[in-house]
A and B are shown apart, each in its own frame.
Chain A
């Protein structure tokens, strides 16, 4: 059917269309060359080494590569171990709060890494709620457990972040497996465990492998979580690129690490593409088994416990974060403004006034205004470029498939690598950047573009061709068809894409941390700075800013969810 639709539109757009199509593609291609291909080329070029330096570098490389793989493997296994039961319960059973819980599990994925880091800090950091409550209850001075700065903290944050991938991919597949396959296995004498092992699991294997690879990819390139939750002791490739670039200014080593990372991510991405294209024996939506009720009290108990755990696991950090933003820990030396422990609005009022004359002081309000400015610019740029791409690309054929794969490449390229490439490219003529703030929205646009295109493309290509055909028969030209037919039909999707790009830019931390200048900090950078500074007031300010950011993202997500059902995969258009 899709081919039929495509042909219909191709016919309407035949004739002169080929020429203006290239005209549309001019700008995105130019942008891609300057802001993606050229910087990457610079990274590759600078990764050359002299033999003498290599020996010293080898140790760093070995250490970071093995830690990246190790923590990503552990995180992925744990995420699957929790994610598969969660997917099963959230999609195959009917229980109160189900859709709310589904939405809740999806929220961390959209939150900026700094917010997630701040949230974990607020819950299980040394001054976090867990320890505060413990100390208050027992009168014990020693903290109960501090997970920030430990591998356990990193793993927890990764699970928190990526669990929704497993739930969102495995859940719908699970609930749409032909229920008669499992029934057939049962009637052939297979026990529940045998049914799961020899029917359910093999059928779900492609989707589980895809989800695992995607989770692994995100964990492998993890940056903000490692930097902020893990702390100084831990270094993935991504963090090491950042450190080598900013702290040691060892650009060749940073480039080499970036190259290694790029090779790894592309390999994982290719595997993912391979597995995600394998079909599942699904049944049409009308035939799906209705979500079940638990069978027997044992199952009811197990399911209830899992649901309760998921609620605590996902709501805990977010509630802790919010509570910390309104809570003053107490007096720190030299901070007379905050003396008593208790509820306070001081962290929020502190956002707008300069408390001290700190040289490194980042005015939070300025950071917020910068972030908003960059986010709006990014949203306009990426939606504009996305529309040019969606309409400029041929409607079908080889060129389109190649282009779609090329468009996803920036997803496999880490933001820090991109930042490094920009530093290497734009610090000298002919593309000298001169330190202007415009570099940030341009970098953010590249990060957001794949998501925008993925949102817009299916919507545009699913417009039935007979709408356009009847408009054309009624005498409308291509331009009028676009304005009167296409645009009204994709309006909601356009809004979604715009907000998507907006929130991505708002939370972008990897590229920003390398490219920002003290004159124009963004909110994530400010949160990072405040979290790394000592003192209760700084901590509180970081929490307050994180809450502002969380609310901004949550508002955006809600709008997207309302218009497209993006997160829960329900409803929408």
Chain B
């Protein structure tokens, strides 16, 4: 297939396996996000793709061509670093022009390209600034311009926004998405921030413990995480373990029936299979509950804290702890009800 393909990339670091047979694809025009906790080896994978490091085993392919004999500077892959890596001895204009000198363009053409590309990242006329006097956000824009101006056939971005503060990050996220789509080159974007990944990705890969745990379209991943840990990484914190028997899941809070098992394999839905229920249900405080539509789990409000997004309410239901956000505060110690509908529950397997 065309675009970038990784086949069984393996890498050890100080005698310990860091990447264990990574296989993934980034087809043309897509933004793929590689989501993983810190230390999962995602930056190393990116460096291997760029050719900055060699894999112990496996292949990096571009349009079916093995790149192992192609040195970094011939791969035409753009790389954006977390710390920007702007050349401190060159001004902004010369930084952006760095990759164009080998292109055989005339000085005027280079000048025009640099100027256009600085406009594209909203830094018009910054050519003569010293990189040291730029803010973090401005430096990352320059780094982007420096990479995009060379029209790389693939963009590799290594947590480019991680060093910025939150407001700037969300602003730049939007700009980045527009720029990446405008660049038309496929991109592989590495991040540990799941919101950022969901926002940017056309295709999402979850990297943990040296292996791709799950990959696919972001919405599908969110709806059907492969396991509880993955679900937790996606921000689905309310989980309940149980055992399947005769189409009913027995949990410490009672039986759940009428659930959708269609995406479990036959093996995973035999009697006695361990499953995890992902609860995306709502919660009501007992005081405001009018009717009882059935499927209610009662609990006690263990904590209630103010957050800008709402009140974080922690409900303890006979030892199982769930977290919800409510628009209004509830009293600690009061009763709360989880309104559980089968449609709000995703069943995933808990078998290894």
- Taking a contact as CB atoms under 8 Å apart, the answer to whether A184 and B81 are in contact is yes
Bound-state CA distance A281–B79 (Å) is 20
Contacts of B73 in A (CB 8 A): 186-192, 194
Which of A189, A192, A198 touches B150 (beta carbons < 8 Å)? A189
Contacts of A198 in B (CB 8 A): 98
Within 8 Å by CB of B89, from A183, A186, A192, A202, lies A202
Determine whether the beta carbon of B102 is less than 8 Å from that of A189.
yes
Q: In the complex, what residue of chain B is closest to A190 when comparing beta carbons?
A: B73
Produce 1/0 per residue, A174-188, CB < 8 A to B.
000010110111111
- Give chain B nearest CB distance to A189 CB in angstroms: 5
Q: Does B182 contact A (CB under 8 A)?
A: no
- Of residues 49 to 81 in B, which have CB atoms within 8 Å of A's CB atoms? 50-52, 71-79, 81
Kindly identify which residue among B78, B85, B102 contacts A194, using a CB–CB cutoff of 8 Å. Answer: B102
Rounded to whole Å, the gap between the CB of A297 and the closest CB of chain B is 15
Residues from chain B with Cβ under 8 Å of A189 in the complex: 73-74, 76, 99, 102-103, 150
Tell me if B88 and A188 are in contact (CB < 8 A): no
- Does A203 sit at the interface, judged by CB under 8 A? yes
Q: Judge whether A199 is part of the interface by a CB distance below 8 angstroms.
A: yes
Q: Report how far A186 CA is from B71 CA in the complex, Å.
A: 9
Q: Is the CB of A187 within 8 A of B88?
A: no
- Tell yes or no: B146 within 8 A of A by CB: yes
Q: Which residues of B have CB within 8 Å of A192? A: 71, 73
A178-B83, A203-B88 known; A185 and B98 CB under 8 Å?
yes
Interface string of A325-369 (1 = CB under 8 A from B): 000000000000000000000000000000000000000000000
Cα A503 to Cα B214 in complex, Å, equals: 66
Contacts of A188 in B (CB 8 A): 73, 78, 98-99, 146-147, 150
Residues facing B in A185-233 (CB within 8 A) are 185-192, 194, 198-199, 202-203
Q: Are A180 and B87 in contact (CB under 8 A)?
A: no
Q: How big is the A interface, by class?
A: 10 to 19
Q: Which of A3-23 contact B (CB under 8 A)?
A: none
CB-CB nearest in chain B for A185: B98
A202–B150 Cα distance when bound, in Å, is 23
Check if B89 sits within 8 Å of A203, measured CB to CB. yes
A454 to B147 Cα, complex, angstroms? 46
Q: With A and B bound together, what is the CA distance between A178 and B78 in angstroms?
A: 18
Inter-subunit contact B85/A184 (CB<8 Å): yes
Name the B residues within 8 Å of A186 (CB-CB): 50-52, 71-73
Closest chain A residue, CB of each to CB of B50? A187
Cβ contact within 8 Å between A183 and B87? no
Instruction: Point out the residues of chain A lying under 8 angstroms from B85, CB to CB.
Output: 178, 180-181, 183-184
Considering only residues 348-405 of chain A, those with a C-beta below 8 Å from chain B are none
Pick from B52, B74, B99, B147: contact of A183, CB below 8 A.
B52
CA–CA, A198 and B90, complex, Å = 10
Give CA–CA (A493, B77) in the complex, Å.
51
Q: How far is the CA of A189 from the CA of B98 in the complex (A)?
A: 9
B155 to chain A, nearest CB (A): 10
User: How far is A181 from B85 in the complex, measured between Cα atoms in Å?
Assistant: 5
CB distance from A387 to the nearest CB of B (A): 40
| Contact residues of A between 229 and 255, Cβ < 8 Å to B | none
Bound Cα distance A281, B85 (Å) = 10
Could you say which residues of chain A place their CB within 8 Å of the CB of B143? 184
The CB with the most chain A CB atoms within 10 A, among B77, B85, B88, B102, is that of B85
- Which residues of B have CB within 8 Å of A190? 73, 98-99, 102
Nearest CB in chain B: distance from A512 CB, A: 45
Chain B residues with CB under 8 Å of A187's CB are 50, 52, 72-73, 75, 77-79, 147, 156
Contacts of A183 in B (CB 8 A): 47, 50, 52, 72, 79, 81, 85
Chain B: minimal CB distance from A176 (Å): 14
**B99 to chain A: which residues have CB within 8 Å?**
188-190
Question: What's the least CB distance linking A190 to chain B, in Å?
Answer: 6
Report the minimal beta-carbon distance from A117 to chain B, rounded to whole angstroms: 41
User: Which residues from chain B contact A180 at a C-beta distance below 8 Å?
Assistant: 81, 83, 85
Q: Which residue of B lies closest to A283 (CB)?
A: B83
Q: Mark B23-65, 1 if CB is under 8 A from A, else 0.
A: 0000000000000000000000001001110000000000000
B88: A residues at CB distance < 8 A: 181, 203, 281
In the complex, chain A residues whose CB is within 8 Å of the CB of B77? 187
A203–B71 alpha-carbon span in the complex (Å): 23
Q: Which residues of A contact B103 (CB under 8 A)?
A: 189
CB-based nearest B residue for A290: B14
Residues of chain B within 8 A (CB-CB) of A191 are 71, 73
- What CA separation (Å) do A21 and B87 show in the bound complex? 47
Q: Which residue of A lies closest to B53 (CB)?
A: A183
The residue on B at minimum CB distance from A188 is B99
Q: Which residue of B lies closest to A195 (CB)?
A: B73
A370–B217 Cα gap in the complex (Å)?
A: 85
- Say how far B37's CB is from chain A's closest CB, in angstroms: 19
Rounded to whole angstroms, the CA-CA distance of A192 and B72 in the bound complex is 9
- A181 CA to B143 CA, complexed, in Å: 11
Contact A181 B87 (CB under 8 A): yes
Q: How far is it, in angstroms, between the C-alpha of A187 and the C-alpha of B81 when the chains are bound?
A: 11
Please indicate the chain A residues that have their CB under 8 angstroms from the CB of B150 in the complex. 188-189
CA–CA, A281 and B88, complex, Å = 7
* Binary CB contact string for chain B from 260 to 290 against chain A (1 if under 8 A, 0 otherwise): 0000000000000000000000000000000
Chain A residues with CB under 8 Å of B47's CB are 183
Residue-wise interface mask of A (440-467) relative to B, using a CB-CB cutoff of 8 A (1 in contact, 0 not):
0000000000000000000000000000
Query: Which chain A residues lie closer than 8 Å to B51 at the CB level?
Result: 186
CB of A208 to closest CB in B, whole Å: 13
A180–B89 alpha-carbon span in the complex (Å): 14
Can you pick out 11 interface pairs between chain A and chain B where the beta carbons lie within 8 Å of each other? Answer: A180-B85, A183-B81, A184-B79, A185-B98, A186-B72, A187-B52, A187-B75, A188-B78, A189-B103, A194-B102, A203-B88
Report which A residues bind B (CB closer than 8 A): 178, 180-181, 183-192, 194, 198-199, 202-203, 281
The list of the 4 closest CB pairs from A to B, nearest first, reads: A188-B99, A187-B79, A186-B72, A180-B85
- Chain B interface (Cβ < 8 Å from any Cβ of A): 47, 50-52, 71-79, 81, 83, 85-89, 98-99, 102-103, 143, 146-147, 150, 156
List 18 other contacts, CB 8 Å, given A183-B47, A184-B87. A178-B85, A180-B81, A181-B87, A183-B79, A184-B79, A184-B85, A184-B86, A185-B98, A186-B50, A187-B156, A188-B98, A189-B150, A190-B98, A191-B73, A192-B71, A192-B73, A198-B98, A202-B89
